[in-house]
């Protein structure tokens, strides 16, 4: 019987109102897929992220694999489709899937080796190479993923209302910065200006949560692979932000160093530096509001600092190393 880690129980309970009911059925759900897919557990270890749990298994031919079961959520609803599109190109390979129940059988990666433990300059280089692999255009045809143009239009409607409801929790110019890039993307998409910088890569599948801990090494240590995508159709520059709001304690130079990291990531991945900066600001403004709405003022403070730092207007008296622990 699957033993559910306490940390995972806490995560799911924070995320879902029906967490206890779902967690109660999780061991039986895992057993059903072990039997249906002819898998055997490979030891007693159980790994987990926020809403996904991973069980090391062996396939009938002895191949090491990983059975991933996620609490059903919109964020992970299209994970299987995204991984199938990448087909092992820069991302973990999906071997079998039941998308309706958000259950995946994945190739086994080394969960003890992530970019979190790699020096930042080397991690930036590895991340850039992965981004070049992940950013190949998709084939023509309908896709299930939300587009950046759709997200931009939604943010244009929602961000001002949320900002007012929360008591204008930041400088007005910062909200204007976030809305400007959303407005440009939404308008240019509507006009069909396919050669525009903001929408020219609209067929690129973007991994929107590609931070240090979502890049793992292969078992032989020879390659790196992205995991846990939150897919979106849009410009690859949208992917930069998670690498900026993590590992702030290692910045040597405060806001200027953060902007330098943004530039380095863009260069490593072959992206437009200014567009990467603008989308990172917008994403952190939205994060700032979401953290406040969720009762996480420390995380909201971090997001506000990152957004203002990327605009060259951060408080010079704030130490990002202190924000990293919030």
Question: Per-residue confidence at 201, pLDDT binned at 50, 70, 90?
Answer: very low
Mean pLDDT for 57-69 is 97
> Which tens digits make up the pLDDT trace of 105-135?
999 999 999 999 999 999 999 999 999 999 9
Indicate if 209 belongs to the active site. Answer: yes
Looking at residue 54, the DSSP 8-state letter turns out to be E
Q: What is the predicted pLDDT for the residue at 277?
A: 98
* Beta-carbon contacts of residue 122 (< 8 Å; ≥ 6 apart): none
Enumerate domains of the chain plus CATH numbers. 6-111 (3.30.200.20), 113-323 (3.90.1200)
Residue-by-residue DSSP string for 196-224: STTTTTTTEEEETT--GGGEEE-TTSS-E
Active-site residue (options: 209, 228, 252, 299):
209
């Amino acid at each position: 019987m699957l033993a559910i880690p306490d940390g995972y129980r806490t995560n799911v309970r924070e995320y879902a109102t029906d967490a206890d009911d779902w967690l109660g059925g999780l061991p039986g759900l895992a057993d059903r897929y072990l039997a249906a897919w002819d898998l055997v557990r490979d030891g007693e270890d159980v790994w987990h992220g926020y809403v996904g749990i991973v069980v090391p298994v062996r396939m009938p031919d002895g191949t090491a694999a990983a059975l991933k079961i996620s609490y059903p959520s919109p964020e992970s609803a299209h994970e299987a489709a995204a991984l199938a599109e990448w087909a092992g190109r820069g991302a973990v390979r999906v071997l079998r899937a039941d998308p309706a129940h958000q259950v995946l059988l994945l190739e086994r990666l080394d969960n003890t080796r992530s970019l979190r433990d790699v020096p930042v300059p080397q991690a930036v280089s590895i991340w850039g190479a992965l981004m070049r692999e992940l950013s190949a255009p998709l084939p023509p045809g309908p896709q299930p993923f939300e587009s950046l143009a759709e997200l931009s239009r939604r943010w244009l409607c929602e961000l001002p209302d949320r900002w007012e409801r929360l008591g204008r929790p930041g400088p007005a110019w910062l909200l204007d910065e976030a809305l400007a890039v959303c407005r440009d993307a939404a308008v240019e998409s509507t006009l069909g200006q396919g050669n525009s910088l903001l929408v020219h890569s609209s067929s690129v599948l973007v991994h929107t949560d590609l931070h240090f801990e979502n890049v793992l090494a292969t078992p032989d240590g020879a390659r790196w692979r992205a995991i846990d995508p939150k897919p979106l159709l849009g410009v690859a520059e949208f992917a930069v932000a998670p690498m900026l709001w993590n590992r702030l304690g290692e910045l040597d130079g405060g806001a200027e160093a953060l902007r330098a990291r943004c530039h380095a990531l863009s260069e490593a991945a072959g992206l437009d530096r200014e567009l990467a900066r603008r989308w990172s600001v917008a994403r952190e403004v939205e994060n700032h509001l979401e953290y406040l709405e969720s009762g996480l003022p420390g995380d909201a403070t971090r997001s506000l600092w990152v957004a203002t730092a990327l605009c060259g207007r951060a408080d010079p008296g704030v130490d990002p190393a202190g924000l990293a622990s919030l």
